[in-house]
């Protein structure tokens, strides 16, 4: 074998750049456990509510209970992430999350659980998530050198995409073979694993915000976004996508059971298929140092995702083919992942360190809009049916991407030119 071939083989099988850093490696495996726990929790929670009520509207209520505190407090979660020790903040939130999940598991295994119990715990979990998410986003870029941030962003995103393949199938299997309560217990141990992993970290000193009050820091963060329209527009697009597009996650028990006629295992495979498409794209983008047309990837990814969602919803109603549903779920995973990875990579590269917690805290509200979007989709589904509710959301996502996004020049050119935030501590896009 020639030296050139040996070099190529070493490159092919080399670990991703960010995983060569021990601190990030521990953080990554801890996050893998926690996100698996979160995905299993969400699946089992919705399955339990559907069993208890059989109502798509109640699925929306659970989403609202979780989203309301997260939306209201995420901004302050970002402020604390910029002010406090991020490591201790994450440890605290993970232990609190595990406690809530174990409480729900105990209520379920003792057969005293009621829909209001699930809603109450979802509400408290939303409070915890509001302070946990911004701290995560503000911590992990400091566990690697700046040259490896793109790799860290991709691998952090790969966890969320990858667990969409495995976790729903695991949750469905646990529920089918054991019980819903058992799935909750497994989820809780995932959060505790993350707390232990973060305890072992010793990150370098991280610049903190210098504001004298939380409200003042919050206002500074909002002013920063107002001055830098590229950030506010990217975050605005993700809000719209989550509210109308990702609402399908909340209604999947209805689509799976009532429309396609499958059980928990079948729903798990459906969700996992979408995750498979997502992880393929995530790993592909993670192997590229800098994708030069991220703006067009944002617009194109959102458009195709919206149209694929509408097609998925309408074909389940009029065709009823489980195989076709799997193909469309895979397509949705591919293009939604391409869209979201482009947005997240751009934000992490371009946002200044001392603003990262606040900006990513506002961005983190995106995930809170998903269950809130589930509330609106559940309400619409109550009157016209779940497939039509999801189809309306899909067409809305595509229309928004093809409308305002196409006339916003800075978004179309994202990744092809340097865009510099107007701050005293800025980073230019490579």
Asked if the structure places residue 341 within a domain, the reply is yes
pLDDT beyond 80 at 331: yes
Asked if the structure places residue 167 within a domain, the reply is yes
Evaluate whether 251 touches 58 at the Cβ level (below 8 Å): no
Render pLDDT for 2-24 as a digit per residue (tens, 0 to 9).
433 444 444 444 567 778 888 99
Rounded Cα–Cα distance for residues 140 and 137 (Å): 6
Asked if the structure places residue 224 within a domain, the reply is yes
Asked if the structure places residue 209 within a domain, the reply is no
Evaluate whether 351 touches 427 at the Cβ level (below 8 Å): yes
Q: How far is CA 383 from the centre of its chain?
A: 29
Domain count along the chain: 1
pLDDT beyond 90 at 235: no
CA angle centred on 230, ends 228 and 234, rounded to 5°? 130
Evaluate whether 235 touches 226 at the Cβ level (below 8 Å): no
Asked if the structure places residue 111 within a domain, the reply is yes
- Least confident range from 89-98, 108-117, 411-420: namely 411-420
Q: Can you give the three-state secondary structure of 125-144, one letter per residue?
A: HHHHHHHHHHHHHHHHHHHC
Q: What is the pLDDT of residue 294?
A: 67
pTM, rounded to two decimals: 0.70
- Least confident range from 88-97, 173-182, 407-416: namely 407-416
CATH number at residue 315: 1.20.1250.20
Q: What is the pLDDT of residue 257?
A: 86
**Average confidence (pLDDT) over 46-59:** 84
For residue 394, give its domain range. Answer: 21-201+217-412
What are the residues whose beta carbons fall under 8 Å from the beta carbon of 291, sequence distance 6 or more? Answer: 285, 297, 342, 415
Q: What is the pLDDT of residue 368?
A: 67
What are the residues whose beta carbons fall under 8 Å from the beta carbon of 191, sequence distance 6 or more? Answer: 33, 34, 37, 38, 94, 95, 97, 98, 101
Coil, strand, or helix at residue 417? strand
Comparison of pLDDT for 10 and 269, the residue scoring more: 269
Summary mean pLDDT of the chain: 81
Q: 91 is written with which tokens?
A: 């440890």
Comparison of pLDDT for 291 and 303, the residue scoring more: 303
**Average confidence (pLDDT) over 230-256:** 85
Q: What is the pLDDT of residue 310?
A: 96
pLDDT beyond 80 at 106: yes
Q: What is the pLDDT of residue 389?
A: 93
Asked if the structure places residue 425 within a domain, the reply is no
Confidence of residue 240 (pLDDT cuts 50, 70, 90): confident
pLDDT beyond 90 at 27: yes
Q: How far is CA 177 from the centre of its chain?
A: 28
Which strand (E) or helix (H) includes residue 97? Answer: helix 86-109
Asked if the structure places residue 291 within a domain, the reply is yes
Asked if the structure places residue 14 within a domain, the reply is no
Q: What is the pLDDT of residue 429?
A: 33
Q: 263 is written with which tokens?
A: 């059980």
pLDDT beyond 90 at 348: no
Percent of the chain with pLDDT strictly greater than 90: 29
Rounded Cα–Cα distance for residues 18 and 147 (Å): 9
**Average confidence (pLDDT) over 245-264:** 86
Confidence of residue 424 (pLDDT cuts 50, 70, 90): very low
């Amino acid at each position: 074998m020639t030296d050139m071939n040996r070099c190529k083989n070493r490159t092919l099988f080399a670990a991703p750049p960010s995983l060569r850093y021990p601190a990030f490696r521990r953080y990554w495996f801890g996050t893998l456990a926690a996100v698996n726990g979160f995905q299993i929790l969400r699946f089992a929670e919705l399955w339990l509510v559907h069993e208890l009520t059989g109502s798509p509207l109640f699925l929306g209520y659970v989403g609202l209970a979780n989203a309301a505190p997260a939306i209201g407090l995420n901004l302050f979660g970002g402020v604390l992430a910029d002010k406090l020790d991020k490591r201790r903040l994450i440890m605290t939130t993970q232990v609190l999350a595990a406690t809530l999940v174990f409480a729900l598991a105990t209520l379920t295994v003792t057969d005293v659980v009621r829909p209001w119990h699930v809603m109450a715990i979802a509400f408290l979990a939303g409070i915890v998530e509001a302070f946990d998410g911004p701290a995560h986003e503000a911590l992990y870029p400091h566990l690697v050198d700046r040259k490896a941030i793109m790799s860290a962003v991709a691998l952090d995103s790969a966890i969320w995409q990858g667990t969409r393949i495995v976790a729903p199938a695991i949750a469905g299997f646990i529920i089918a073979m054991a019980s819903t309560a058992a799935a909750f217990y497994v989820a809780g141990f995932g959060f505790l694993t993350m707390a232990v992993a973060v305890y072992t970290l010793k990150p370098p000193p991280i610049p903190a915000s210098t504001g004298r009050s939380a409200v003042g820091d919050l206002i500074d963060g909002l002013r920063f976004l107002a001055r830098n329209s590229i950030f506010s527009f990217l975050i605005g697009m993700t809000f719209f996508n989550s509210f109308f597009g990702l609402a399908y996650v909340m209604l999947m028990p209805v689509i799976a059971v009532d429309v396609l006629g499958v059980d928990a295992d079948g729903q798990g495979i459906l969700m996992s298929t979408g995750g498979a498409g997502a992880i393929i794209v995530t790993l592909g983008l993670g192997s590229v140092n800098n994708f030069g047309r991220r703006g067009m990837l944002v617009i194109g990814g959102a458009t195709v995702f919206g149209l694929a969602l509408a097609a998925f919803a309408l074909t389940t109603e009029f065709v009823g083919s489980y195989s076709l549903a799997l193909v469309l779920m895979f397509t949705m995973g591919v293009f939604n992942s391409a869209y979201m990875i482009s947005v997240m990579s751009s934000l992490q590269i371009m946002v200044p360190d001392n603003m990262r917690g606040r900006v990513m805290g506002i961005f983190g509200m995106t995930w809170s809009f998903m269950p809130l979007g589930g509330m609106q989709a559940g309400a619409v589904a109550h009157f016209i049916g779940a497939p039509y509710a999801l189809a309306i959301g899909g067409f809305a996502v595509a229309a928004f991407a093809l409308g305002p996004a196409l006339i916003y020049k800075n978004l179309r050119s994202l990744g092809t030119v340097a865009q510099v935030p107007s701050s005293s501590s800025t980073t230019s896009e490579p």
